[in-house]
Amino acid sequence: MSVFTPTWLVSAIYTLTPERLAQHGIKAILTDLDNTLIAWNNPDGTPALKRWLHTMQAAGITVMVVSNNKHERIARALATLDLPFVARALKPLPVGIDRAVRQLGLNKSDVVMIGDQLLTDIAAAHTAGVRSILVRPLIESDAWNTRINRFFEGFVLRAMKPLHYQEDLND
Protein backbone atom coordinates (compact mmCIF):
# COMPACT_ATOMS: atom_id res chain seq x y z
CA MET A 1 0.00 0.00 0.00
CA SER A 2 2.93 2.38 0.47
CA VAL A 3 3.14 3.01 -3.29
CA PHE A 4 -0.31 4.59 -3.06
CA THR A 5 0.37 6.68 0.06
CA PRO A 6 0.90 10.35 -0.80
CA THR A 7 3.50 12.47 0.94
CA TRP A 8 0.82 15.10 1.60
CA LEU A 9 -2.94 15.42 1.22
CA VAL A 10 -4.16 18.89 0.29
CA SER A 11 -7.75 19.82 -0.48
CA ALA A 12 -6.94 21.65 -3.75
CA ILE A 13 -3.88 22.57 -5.78
CA TYR A 14 -4.87 26.24 -5.54
CA THR A 15 -4.29 26.33 -1.77
CA LEU A 16 -0.56 25.66 -2.18
CA THR A 17 1.66 28.69 -1.73
CA PRO A 18 5.17 29.36 -3.04
CA GLU A 19 6.34 29.99 0.54
CA ARG A 20 5.25 26.57 1.78
CA LEU A 21 6.64 24.83 -1.29
CA ALA A 22 9.98 26.60 -0.83
CA GLN A 23 10.10 25.49 2.81
CA HIS A 24 10.13 21.94 1.48
CA GLY A 25 12.73 22.64 -1.21
CA ILE A 26 10.21 22.40 -4.05
CA LYS A 27 11.25 24.33 -7.17
CA ALA A 28 8.80 22.80 -9.63
CA ILE A 29 5.32 21.32 -9.61
CA LEU A 30 4.46 18.42 -11.88
CA THR A 31 0.70 18.22 -12.05
CA ASP A 32 -1.93 16.02 -13.54
CA LEU A 33 -4.33 17.86 -15.84
CA ASP A 34 -7.91 16.61 -15.53
CA ASN A 35 -9.66 17.20 -12.20
CA THR A 36 -6.39 18.38 -10.63
CA LEU A 37 -5.45 21.53 -12.51
CA ILE A 38 -8.66 21.99 -14.50
CA ALA A 39 -12.04 20.29 -14.45
CA TRP A 40 -11.94 17.61 -17.16
CA ASN A 41 -14.96 19.17 -18.85
CA ASN A 42 -13.79 22.82 -18.60
CA PRO A 43 -10.52 23.20 -20.50
CA ASP A 44 -10.49 26.98 -20.12
CA GLY A 45 -9.71 26.83 -16.42
CA THR A 46 -10.94 29.33 -13.86
CA PRO A 47 -9.84 32.77 -12.69
CA ALA A 48 -8.57 31.09 -9.48
CA LEU A 49 -6.31 28.83 -11.57
CA LYS A 50 -4.94 31.76 -13.53
CA ARG A 51 -4.19 33.71 -10.32
CA TRP A 52 -2.50 30.67 -8.78
CA LEU A 53 -0.36 30.09 -11.88
CA HIS A 54 0.66 33.75 -11.91
CA THR A 55 1.65 33.52 -8.23
CA MET A 56 3.78 30.43 -8.90
CA GLN A 57 5.41 32.01 -11.94
CA ALA A 58 6.18 35.22 -10.03
CA ALA A 59 7.85 33.13 -7.31
CA GLY A 60 9.95 31.23 -9.86
CA ILE A 61 8.19 27.90 -9.36
CA THR A 62 7.66 26.07 -12.62
CA VAL A 63 4.33 24.31 -13.15
CA MET A 64 4.48 21.49 -15.70
CA VAL A 65 1.62 19.19 -16.67
CA VAL A 66 2.34 15.45 -16.74
CA SER A 67 -0.69 13.72 -18.22
CA ASN A 68 -1.68 10.42 -19.76
CA ASN A 69 -3.73 12.36 -22.32
CA LYS A 70 -2.56 12.70 -25.89
CA HIS A 71 -0.62 15.74 -27.05
CA GLU A 72 -3.52 17.34 -28.90
CA ARG A 73 -5.88 17.17 -25.90
CA ILE A 74 -3.32 18.73 -23.54
CA ALA A 75 -2.23 21.40 -26.02
CA ARG A 76 -5.88 22.41 -26.54
CA ALA A 77 -6.55 22.52 -22.78
CA LEU A 78 -3.42 24.56 -22.05
CA ALA A 79 -3.60 26.88 -25.07
CA THR A 80 -4.36 29.94 -22.95
CA LEU A 81 -2.23 28.92 -19.96
CA ASP A 82 1.17 28.61 -21.66
CA LEU A 83 2.42 25.69 -19.56
CA PRO A 84 4.99 23.07 -20.54
CA PHE A 85 3.72 19.51 -20.58
CA VAL A 86 4.53 15.85 -21.05
CA ALA A 87 1.86 13.92 -22.94
CA ARG A 88 1.29 10.17 -22.89
CA ALA A 89 3.07 10.01 -19.53
CA LEU A 90 2.15 6.33 -19.03
CA LYS A 91 1.33 6.82 -15.35
CA PRO A 92 1.60 4.80 -13.09
CA LEU A 93 4.94 4.08 -14.73
CA PRO A 94 7.64 6.67 -13.94
CA VAL A 95 8.30 7.45 -17.63
CA GLY A 96 6.52 10.81 -17.85
CA ILE A 97 7.77 12.08 -14.51
CA ASP A 98 11.34 11.11 -15.36
CA ARG A 99 11.02 12.90 -18.71
CA ALA A 100 9.66 16.04 -17.02
CA VAL A 101 12.44 16.12 -14.42
CA ARG A 102 15.05 15.79 -17.18
CA GLN A 103 13.42 18.56 -19.24
CA LEU A 104 13.43 20.86 -16.22
CA GLY A 105 17.06 20.04 -15.40
CA LEU A 106 16.24 19.54 -11.73
CA ASN A 107 16.86 16.85 -9.14
CA LYS A 108 13.95 14.65 -8.14
CA SER A 109 14.14 16.15 -4.66
CA ASP A 110 13.28 19.56 -6.20
CA VAL A 111 9.90 18.52 -7.62
CA VAL A 112 6.54 17.30 -6.39
CA MET A 113 3.88 15.44 -8.36
CA ILE A 114 0.30 16.56 -7.70
CA GLY A 115 -2.72 14.58 -8.76
CA ASP A 116 -6.21 13.45 -7.86
CA GLN A 117 -5.73 9.70 -8.36
CA LEU A 118 -3.84 7.21 -6.20
CA LEU A 119 -3.52 4.54 -8.89
CA THR A 120 -1.91 6.79 -11.48
CA ASP A 121 -0.53 10.05 -10.10
CA ILE A 122 0.61 8.97 -6.64
CA ALA A 123 1.86 5.55 -7.75
CA ALA A 124 3.84 7.19 -10.58
CA ALA A 125 5.41 9.65 -8.14
CA HIS A 126 6.51 6.84 -5.84
CA THR A 127 7.92 4.71 -8.63
CA ALA A 128 9.77 7.77 -9.98
CA GLY A 129 11.14 8.63 -6.54
CA VAL A 130 9.49 12.05 -6.14
CA ARG A 131 7.26 13.40 -3.40
CA SER A 132 3.53 13.56 -4.03
CA ILE A 133 0.44 15.50 -3.14
CA LEU A 134 -3.02 13.98 -3.46
CA VAL A 135 -5.77 16.55 -4.02
CA ARG A 136 -9.50 16.12 -4.12
CA PRO A 137 -10.88 16.00 -7.65
CA LEU A 138 -12.10 19.43 -8.74
CA ILE A 139 -15.50 18.01 -9.71
CA GLU A 140 -17.27 14.78 -8.88
CA SER A 141 -17.75 13.57 -12.43
CA ASP A 142 -14.98 11.98 -14.49
CA ALA A 143 -14.32 11.10 -18.08
CA TRP A 144 -15.37 7.53 -18.88
CA ASN A 145 -11.82 6.12 -18.73
CA THR A 146 -11.14 7.68 -15.32
CA ARG A 147 -14.29 6.10 -13.88
CA ILE A 148 -12.62 2.70 -14.26
CA ASN A 149 -9.63 3.86 -12.21
CA ARG A 150 -11.93 5.36 -9.58
CA PHE A 151 -13.68 2.00 -9.19
CA PHE A 152 -10.42 0.20 -8.39
CA GLU A 153 -9.16 3.15 -6.34
CA GLY A 154 -12.12 2.62 -4.02
CA PHE A 155 -10.67 -0.73 -2.93
CA VAL A 156 -7.30 0.85 -2.20
CA LEU A 157 -8.90 3.71 -0.25
CA ARG A 158 -10.86 1.27 1.92
CA ALA A 159 -7.64 -0.63 2.72
CA MET A 160 -5.79 2.54 3.73
CA LYS A 161 -6.18 4.63 6.85
CA PRO A 162 -8.79 7.36 6.50
CA LEU A 163 -7.46 10.28 4.46
CA HIS A 164 -7.50 13.72 6.04
CA TYR A 165 -7.02 16.55 3.57
CA GLN A 166 -5.28 19.71 4.76
CA GLU A 167 -5.44 23.22 3.39
CA ASP A 168 -1.64 23.49 3.21
CA LEU A 169 1.49 21.34 3.40
CA ASN A 170 2.18 22.28 7.00
CA ASP A 171 -1.33 22.00 8.46
> pLDDT (tens digit, 9 = 90+) per residue, 14-30?
999 999 999 999 999 99
Mean pLDDT of 144-165: 68
Check if the beta carbon of residue 8 is closer than 8 Å to that of residue 134.
yes
pLDDT of residue 38: 87
Fold of 2-159: Rossmann fold (3.40.50)
Q: Which residue has the higher pLDDT, 166 or 134?
A: 134
Confidence check: pLDDT of 171 > 60: no
Distance CA 73, CA 168 (A): 30
- Residue ranges covered by each domain of the chain: 2-159
Which run of H or E residues covers position 68? Answer: none
